[in-house]
Chain A
């Protein structure tokens, strides 16, 4: 749940923050030949979104695996005793 919350905060900051709310401020800077706010709105936000879902899928897979080994360990202990 903490992970979900964290990812959604990044999602909001990059997508809605850099892409929309701060676009005019960021447009003063140039990045790869683009005004930065414009770049976030048309490229940066999308790249960030892909990375966010990748992090989510990876972390959840690891959590699942750890929980499963924990559960198996508990089951094994119960069987032993």
Chain B
């Protein structure tokens, strides 16, 4: 069977599985729709949280980024897992005890303020929408490459699937589908990397293989440690060292701030927090935090190995090769524009780093339109033909546009092909990428739907709405959200991909401080909380906009836009802290409530929240 037939088989099988699971878990009330009736066991919730959390970015993009960044790629690994410690220790058990449906719900009730609820609602919607658009891009890439269908059709198929199981089962359907998706994605990630590790180093555990000696006969650098080989090649070709810390733009301040912003942002993401509302009691919330991170760590501990192996294969299979020697994976991927070669006339491909300027010949199209890129290539051809008299060197233009090197998103998908693994493994990776994108998309869509149907409509506009009305509205909003997300996926506005990375900074500077203050202080009232949220997200948003889109210098201690959420968070805490002594404390009832959530829990949990 060919790769494509296997892919159709796997994608068909996994999609039927998701639909079957969703049908078994369909629901009839809002409690089931929003928080799965609060009856999800901790271990299943942990698995669902892991799938929810590990998005197309974790599955497709992260290992690729680490591969290109080396040591600095660790910011994603540490940031995205370290945030779970904050979440599990500081937030999840307390939020569960407070017992509401959503994050804006908690903010609104704790600070007794419709404004606070509304600001939190806007933040949640904004973060979720930018994030979901990124997932749809992932679905599009997988469909376009492996099933050779149009990206548009790919996105529509994905959206139709999410639509069916999310409207049918709400949180309950999504939770149990995510459990299934977790298994698909983790197998799809770990099996190929273990196979490659075994092939390259004779060590089937990739985490150890990465530090081992390369043994494969005829392999480049056989007899030396993989990481030493990578460092040597990197130095040779003008790349920054793979394992050394604080190279290039990634100085100590930036690595620190970016790591912290990602950690704190993780703890403030609404679609992750809401998962802790689905379990039976506080104890289960603590345990599902543990299970979630354990399941996540299986992928996150393998990703650095994937990254190192991919780096080894990319350089060895491309650099110094002539056209006829190029591997078939290069040919298929270059059609997508995610990797392109502009030769300097000697017919040999040269992949070089910034240390050897003007020599690199490997690029990606990035956000250039087809016509723009064709213009560059024809100018480049003319430049070659006339020996430099006419036309322009395309490589110079591409470097000016910062399009050196292949796109990070293709490395995970292409790696099994680089290492010549069996066809079914390649197909499995495609199914895994889809599982990762769909599971995250469905979790986010539910946050969007519950924000609108529950927080906005029921709590702010029509508090007298009946159960049936609210459930119907939830299903309608999730449908509308699916359609909007689909449209954004088909026609991605240029800024989406960047904004996804910044969603963490925004979450770090808005939600995290307000949740921590809301739980651990009885004194902070509505005004400081709202002022903190607005100033934190305002500062972070302005800094990102001005540095990324208007080319302003990184004026704040040289911190890049990815790490600025750390400062935004401090601004938020500072503003709330300064204003608190001058503002009205919360009412007696709220103070009692806040105090009670820190008490040890009763034998039987209070069950459904009081306010309903």
B243 touches A43 (CB 8 A): no
- Do the beta carbons of A49 and B286 come within 8 Å of each other? no
Q: Is A11 a contact partner of B290 (Cβ separation < 8 A)?
A: no
A residues near B392, Cβ cutoff 8 Å: none
Contact B74 A50 (CB under 8 A): no
Given contacts A7-B89, A42-B74, contact A15 B82 (CB under 8 A): yes
Q: Known interface pairs A16-B260, A41-B71, A43-B301. Does A57 touch B85 (Cβ–Cβ under 8 Å)?
A: no
User: Do residues A50 and B82 form an inter-chain contact, with CB atoms below 8 A?
Assistant: no
Please tell me the size bucket of the interface on B.
35 or more
Closest-CB distance, A9 to chain B (whole angstroms): 11
Mask of B72-100 contacts with A, CB within 8 angstroms, 1/0? 01100110011011101110010000000
* Closest-CB distance, B481 to chain A (whole angstroms): 32
Q: Are A56 and B73 in contact (CB under 8 A)?
A: no
Q: Please indicate the chain B residues that have their CB under 8 angstroms from the CB of A52 in the complex.
A: 85, 89
Q: How far is the CA of A43 from the CA of B74 in the complex (A)?
A: 9
Structural contact, A16 and B211, CB atoms closer than 8 A? no
Contacting pair B77 A34 (CB below 8 A):
no
Determine if B89 and A4 form an interchain contact, defined as CB atoms under 8 angstroms apart: yes
Chain A contacts of B86 at CB under 8 A? Answer: 8, 11
Question: What's the tally of chain A residues with a CB closer than 8 Å to chain B?
Answer: 38
Q: Report how many A-B pairs have Cβ atoms within 8 Å.
A: 131
A35-50 vs B, CB cutoff 8 Å, 1 = contact: the mask equals 1011101110111011
Q: B383 at the A/B interface (Cβ < 8 Å)? A: no
Whether the Cβ atoms of A38 and B78 lie closer than 8 Å is no
Q: Which of A24, A42, A47, A60 is close to B73, meaning CB atoms less than 8 Å apart? A: A42
A50 & B212 in contact (Cβ 8 Å cutoff): no
Q: Which residues of A are found within 8 Å of B287, using beta-carbon distances?
A: 57
A45: chain B residues at CB < 8 Å are: 74, 77-78, 81-82
Task: Say how far A50's CB is from chain B's closest CB, in angstroms.
Answer: 5
Which residue of chain B has the shortest Cβ distance to A59 in the bound complex? B286
Q: Which residues of A contact B601 (CB under 8 A)?
A: 64
Q: Which residue of A lies closest to B82 (CB)?
A: A15
Complex Cα distance, B304 from A33, in Å, reads 14
Given A27-B244, A45-B81, A53-B293, A38 and B74 touching (CB < 8 A)? Answer: yes
Q: Which partner residue on chain B sits nearest A19 by CB separation? A: B78
A65 to B81, CA, bound (A): 29
Q: Give the chain B neighbours of A24 by CB distance below 8 A.
A: 244-246
**Considering only CB atoms, which chain B residue lies closest to A8 in the complex?**
B89
Known contacts A11-B82, A56-B89; is A32 also within 8 Å of B290 by CB? Answer: no
Is B207 at the interface (CB under 8 A from chain A)?
yes
Q: A15 and B78: CB pair below 8 A?
A: yes
Chain A residues with Cβ under 8 A from B78's Cβ?
15, 19-20, 41, 45-46
Between B74, B77, B260, B601, the greatest number of chain A beta carbons within 10 A of the residue's beta carbon is seen for B74
CB pair A41 B74 closer than 8 Å: yes
Partner of A16, one of B213, B246, B259: B259
Please, which residues of chain B bring their CB within 8 A of the CB of A42? 66, 71, 73-74, 77, 304
Q: Is the Cβ of B600 less than 8 Å from the Cβ of A63?
A: yes
What CA separation (Å) do A27 and B226 show in the bound complex? 16
Asked if B256 is an interface residue, CB under 8 A from chain A, the answer is yes
Flag if A47 contacts B259 (CB, 8 Å): no
Evaluate whether A32 and B211 lie within 8 angstroms (CB atoms) in the complex, with A24-B245, A41-B77, A46-B77 already known: yes
**Does A61 sit at the interface, judged by CB under 8 A?**
yes
Q: Say yes or no: is B232 at the interface (Cβ < 8 Å to chain A).
A: no
Chain A nearest CB from B604 CB (Å) reads: 11
Complex Cα distance, B259 from A21, in Å, reads 11
B603 within 8 A of A: yes
Q: Which 4 residue pairs across A and B have the least CB separation, nearest first?
A: A33-B211, A41-B74, A23-B245, A42-B304
Would you give 29 A-B contacts (Cβ < 8 Å), ordered by A?
Answer: A15-B78, A15-B259, A15-B263, A16-B259, A19-B259, A20-B78, A23-B71, A33-B210, A33-B225, A33-B226, A34-B210, A35-B244, A37-B245, A38-B74, A38-B245, A41-B71, A41-B245, A42-B77, A42-B304, A43-B207, A43-B301, A45-B81, A47-B301, A49-B293, A50-B294, A52-B85, A57-B286, A64-B283, A68-B603
Task: Tell me the B residues contacting A by CB distance below 8 Å.
Answer: 66, 71, 73-74, 77-78, 81-82, 84-86, 88-90, 93, 207-208, 210-213, 225-227, 243-246, 252, 255-256, 259-260, 263, 283, 286-287, 289-290, 293-294, 297, 300-301, 304, 600-601, 603
Extra A-B contacts (13), CB below 8 Å, given A24-B244, A53-B293, A60-B93: A4-B90, A32-B211, A38-B245, A39-B211, A42-B66, A42-B73, A45-B78, A46-B297, A49-B81, A53-B289, A53-B290, A56-B290, A57-B88
